[in-house]
């Protein structure tokens, strides 16, 4: 199961861009934001029903939840809160996570739109993922974006799609990072 979820985890956890100081930051407010994201994945082989049927109920429930969370069973929607800071805006890591070792190339960066290419290589697997991430500042208190990637490995090709919309909630982030 870990092998099958690798492309999703890499892509969803590496939607961050690092860029030099000469690239413009998005023009959005600093503070607490609510981010609603929808993601889906196609091309992933299904787990045979007999494999799931032979698992203990608790393990089967965890695997089914992980599959749904990854978007394997159709689109999945999540809502989270994020604290947008000047540092995140300057490093182009707002509205995304930074957990993967991926190559990020900024294609276009203005105060209203950021577009980049992302390439990820699996360390233990013969897998690679290539995609394009776009985020747009609709206004100073609203942003939206999308990510489309293709992951290849183990003789399989998977398509990963991710879109989000976000709204500014206020200047204080509290415990949200």
Q: What is the pTM of this model?
A: 0.69
With respect to residue 166, please indicate whether it lies within any of the assigned structural domains.
yes
Q: Which residue has the higher pLDDT, 33 or 123?
A: 33
How many domains does one find in the chain? 1
Residue 110, pLDDT score:
92
Write the pLDDT tens digit of every residue in 18-45.
333 445 788 999 999 999 999 888 876 6
Q: Where are the alpha helices (DSSP H) in the chain?
A: 2-13, 49-53, 57-70, 86-90
Across all residues in the chain, what is the average pLDDT? 78
Say whether pLDDT at 142 is over 60.
yes
Residue 45, pLDDT score:
60
Residue 3, pLDDT score:
44
Mean pLDDT value across residues 50-66 = 77
With respect to residue 175, please indicate whether it lies within any of the assigned structural domains.
no
With respect to residue 150, please indicate whether it lies within any of the assigned structural domains.
yes
With respect to residue 103, please indicate whether it lies within any of the assigned structural domains.
yes
**Rounded-to-integer distance, Cα 80 and Cα 88, Å:** 17
**Rounded-to-integer distance, Cα 83 and Cα 174, Å:** 9
At 107, list the tokens.
Answer: 């294609």
With respect to residue 64, please indicate whether it lies within any of the assigned structural domains.
yes
For 1-5, 48-52, 79-83, 145-149, which range has the lowest pLDDT when averaged over its residues? Answer: 1-5
Residue 134, pLDDT score:
94
* 19: containing domain: 2-170
Q: Where are the alpha helices (DSSP H) in 14-104?
A: 49-53, 57-70, 86-90
Nearest to 132 by CA among 11, 7, 8: 11
With respect to residue 176, please indicate whether it lies within any of the assigned structural domains.
no
With respect to residue 119, please indicate whether it lies within any of the assigned structural domains.
yes
């Amino acid at each position: 199961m870990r092998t099958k979820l690798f492309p999703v985890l890499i892509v969803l956890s590496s939607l961050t861009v690092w860029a030099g100081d000469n690239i413009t930051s998005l023009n959005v407010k600093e503070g607490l934001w609510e981010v609603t994201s929808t993601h889906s994945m196609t091309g992933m082989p299904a787990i045979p029903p007999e494999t799931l049927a032979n698992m203990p109920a608790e393990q089967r429930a965890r695997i089914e939840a992980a599959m749904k969370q990854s978007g394997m069973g159709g689109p999945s929607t999540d809502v989270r809160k994020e604290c947008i800071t000047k540092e995140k805006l300057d490093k182009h890591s707002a509205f995304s996570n930074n957990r993967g070792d991926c190559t990020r190339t900024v294609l276009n960066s203005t105060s209203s739109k950021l577009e980049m290419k992302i390439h990820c290589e699996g360390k233990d697997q013969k897998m690679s993922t290539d995609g394009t991430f776009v985020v747009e500042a609709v206004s100073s208190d609203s942003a939206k974006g999308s990510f489309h990637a293709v992951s290849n490995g183990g003789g399989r090709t998977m398509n990963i799609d991710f879109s989000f919309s976000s709204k500014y909630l206020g200047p204080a982030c509290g415990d949200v990072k």
